[in-house]
C-alpha cells in the first residue's frame, strides 16, 4: 500500500522507528531517503495532489516499496496515524515559500504542529528542517522553545552535505540556506488546547417519518458543538432520493461530502452518500443527526 487512503487504512500504524517527510513536493528527498534506508519504513504527507501523483509514478518506475504516502495535512497525519514515540526522524524541507505574518497560524512549525510532532517522536528522535528564509528559522525556534522539549542546533547548509539538485544550484548561486535540528529530550508541555477528532466505527443513518422540508437544510450554516461547523450547499435529485453537498469542519479538520436522503416506504433515511470518501468521525454522526432533525421541522 505505498499510496494509501488515511480514511480507510487501519490506524494507528503498528510500526516503530519511522522516518517521515512532510511536504515532499517533487519527491527528490524522500526517494533518496528510501534508497538510503531500504529496511526502514518512510512515510510522506503532502497537500498537493499533483505531488502525490508524481511520487506515485516515480516510486513505481524506480521499484521503491518502502515509502507510504497520503494526501493529508501533516498535523492530522501525525494525530491519526502514529502511536506516541514511534517516529525516529521527521524532515521538513523548504516548507514556507510565502512566509507572511498573516500565515502565522498555518505555519508548519507553529507550536501546535511541533507539539504533535514531538509527541510522536521517540526520545532522542529529531526534526530536521531546511529553509532559505531566516525569519522562518527565528519563528521556528521561538515556537519550539514554548514546548520545552527540544535541544536545538542551527547552522548554514554547506556543499559537503547531501543536497537536492535545487539546493546545490542555490548554494552555487550564493544563496544562504539554513538548517535546524530539534532533538526531543523531554515530553512537550502545553499551555494551549490540542485539537483532536474522534473516529467512530460507523456513522449510522437516521430514519425520519412523514413529510420533509428540504428548504430547511439547503445553503445553511450550523454550529454542531464547540469547534464543529457544518455548511450545506446545493441539492441534487437522484434516482433514490436527494443528495445535498456539504462541508464539515471539526477542529479545523475539513471534509467535503454528500448527504443522501433516501425515500422509504414510510418516510425517509438520512445518510452519508456511499460515493463520498470520508473519515467516519463523531462530528459526521452529529451532522447526520442534525440534518434529520432539521428536515422534519415545519
Ligand atoms: C515549497 S514546497 C517544498 C517541497 C519540497 N520539500 C522541496 O524541498 O522541494 C512545500 C510543500 O509542502 C507542502 N505542505 C505545506 N504545508 C503542509 C502540511 N501542513 N502538510 C503536508 N504538506 C504540506 C506543500 O503542499 C508543498 O508541496
pLDDT of residue 238: 84
pLDDT of residue 105: 63
Instruction: Note if 96 is an active site residue.
Output: yes
- What are residue 176's phi and psi, to 5 degrees? -90, 130
Pocket of ligand 1 from Cβ distances under 6 Å: 22-26, 45-48, 51, 73-74, 93-95, 97, 108
Residue 260 CA to residue 274 CA, distance in Å, equals: 8
| Closest to 274 in 3D by CA, of 257, 289, 287 | 257
To the nearest whole number, what is the mean pLDDT of the chain?
94
CA 34 to chain centre: 21
Domains identified in the chain and CATH numbers: 18-184 (3.40.50.150), 206-295 (no CATH)
**Which cell numbers hold the place of 55?**
511520487
| Interval 53-78 mean pLDDT | 97
pLDDT of residue 255: 98
Tens digit of pLDDT for each residue in 217-266?
999 999 999 999 999 999 999 888 999 999 999 999 999 999 999 999 88
Task: Give me the residue label for grid cell 531517503.
Answer: 33
On whether the CB atoms of residues 178 and 155 are closer than 8 A, the answer is: yes
Provide the phi-psi class of 108: left if phi over 0, else alpha when psi is between -120 and 50, else beta.
Answer: alpha
Q: Which of 11-20, 45-54, 103-112 has the lowest mean pLDDT?
A: 103-112
Tens digit of pLDDT for each residue in 111-124?
999 999 999 999 99
Which member of 5, 84, 96, 211 is catalytic?
A: 96
Nearest atom in ligand 1 to the alpha carbon of residue 92 is: 6
Residue 106 pLDDT exceeds 90: no
pLDDT of residue 100: 60
| Interval 195-201 mean pLDDT | 96
pLDDT of residue 204: 98
Tens digit of pLDDT for each residue in 131-188?
999 999 999 999 999 999 999 999 999 988 888 888 999 999 999 999 999 999 999 9
Task: Give me the residue label for grid cell 539546493.
Answer: 167
Q: Helix or strand or coil: residue 220?
A: coil
Residue 6: pLDDT band by 50, 70, 90 thresholds?
very high
Task: Give me the residue label for grid cell 521517540.
Answer: 122
Amino acid at each position: 500500500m505505498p499510496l494509501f487512503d488515511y480514511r480507510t487504512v487501519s490506524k494507528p500504524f503498528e510500526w516503530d522507528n519511522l522516518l517521515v517527510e512532510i511536504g515532499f513536493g517533487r519527491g527528490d528527498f524522500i526517494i533518496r531517503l528510501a534508497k538510503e534506508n531500504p529496511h526502514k519504513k518512510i512515510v510522506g504527507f503532502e497537500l498537493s495532489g499533483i505531488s502525490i501523483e508524481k511520487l506515485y509514478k516515480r516510486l513505481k518506475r524506480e521499484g521503491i516499496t518502502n515509502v507510504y504516502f497520503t494526501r493529508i495535512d501533516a498535523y492530522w497525519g501525525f494525530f491519526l496515524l502514529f502511536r506516541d514515540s514511534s517516529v525516529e526522524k521527521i524532515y521538513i524541507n523548504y516548507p514556507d515559500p510565502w512566509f507572511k505574518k498573516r500565515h502565522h497560524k498555518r505555519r508548519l512549525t507553529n507550536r501546535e504542529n511541533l507539539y504533535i510532532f514531538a509527541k510522536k517522536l521517540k526520545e532522542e528522535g529529531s526534526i530536521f528542517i531546511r529553509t532559505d528564509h531566516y525569519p522562518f528559522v527565528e519563528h521556528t525556534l521561538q515556537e519550539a522553545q514554548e514546548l520545552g522539549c527540544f535541544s536545538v542546533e542551527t547552522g548554514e547548509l554547506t556543499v559537503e552535505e547531501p543536497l537536492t539538485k535545487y539546493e546545490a544550484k542555490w548554494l552555487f548561486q550564493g544563496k544562504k540556506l539554513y538548517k535546524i535540528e530539534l532533538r526531543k529530550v523531554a515530553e512537550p508541555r502545553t499551555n494551549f488546547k490540542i485539537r483532536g477528532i474522534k473516529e467512530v466505527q460507523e456513522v449510522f443513518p437516521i430514519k425520519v417519518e412523514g413529510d420533509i422540508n428540504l428548504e430547511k437544510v439547503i445553503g445553511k450554516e450550523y454550529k454542531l458543538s464547540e469547534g464543529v461547523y457544518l455548511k450545506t450547499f446545493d441539492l441534487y435529485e437522484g434516482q433514490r432520493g436527494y443528495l445535498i453537498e456539504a462541508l464539515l469542519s471539526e477542529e479545523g479538520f475539513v471534509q467535503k461530502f454528500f448527504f443522501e436522503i433516501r425515500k422509504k416506504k414510510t418516510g425517509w433515511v438520512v445518510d452519508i452518500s456511499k460515493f463520498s470518501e470520508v473519515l467516519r468521525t463523531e462530528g459526521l454522526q452529529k451532522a447526520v443527526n442534525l440534518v434529520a432533525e432539521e428536515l422534519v421541522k415545519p
